[in-house]
Each structure stands twice: as structure tokens, then as C-alpha cells.
Amino acid sequence: MKFSNLMFAILLTAPAHIAGAVDLATVEIKKFAFEPKEITVAPGTKVVWINRDETPHQIRTDDGSFVSKAMDTDDQYEQVFAKEGDFSYVCTLHPFMTGIVHVHK
């Protein structure tokens, strides 16, 4: 197969692979704050929280729909938001730390 034919075949199959990919959003925990504090994502998006502090943090939604483990420095927690809604969350170890994920089409 010629190189140009191979590249054409790859380009034809690439969109099908990309269509199945999950969207990703990242929230960093720095200086006892969620950055960004508020995000809006589409249903099916995976949100990843990364602890950049040297202090442990734990995330819990106000409605209790998810709770992370205590995250040490550079630990991550992932949550896929399948349904629409507004999901407020807090660091259970530092309740002044709050954030919200808006999930809308």
C-alpha cells in the first residue's frame, strides 16, 4: 500500500475513533481552592480533580452522589457526569473549599 493510500485510510477511520472518545475537564486543587471553582460540561464528560497542594483533600457532592478518597499531593479523582444537573461539591477536610459542576447539553 502506498503511503498516500495509507494516510487516506487512516483519515477515513479517525473520526469514528474520535466520536467514541469521552470529553475531559480538569479541576486543579491549589492553595486550598478549586481551579476553576465552577465549570460547565456536556453529559458524558469525565471531570478529573488533581491535588496540587501538599495537604490531603477529599471531594464530596452536597447530594452525596459521589465521594473521593482522601487525595495526597498529585493524586487524582475522576467522575463521569452522565446526567444533566448542577453538582455542588466541597472538600470534606476543608469545608470552606467549594465548587460546582454544571452539566448541560
**pLDDT per position as a tens digit, 47-99:** 999 999 999 999 999 999 999 999 999 999 999 999 999 999 999 999 999 99
Domains of the chain in sequence order: 22-103 (2.60.40.420)
Q: Where are the alpha helices (DSSP H) in the chain?
A: 3-19
* Residue, of 86 and 16, whose pLDDT is higher: 86
**Among 98, 97, 96, 99, residue whose Cα is nearest residue 40:** 99
For 81, other C-beta atoms within 10 Å of its C-beta total: 21
Length in residues, the chain: 105
d(C-alpha 35, C-alpha 86), whole Å? 17
Cell triple for residue 60? 464530596
pTM, to two decimals: 0.79
What is the rounded end-to-end Cα distance, in angstroms, of the chain?
A: 42
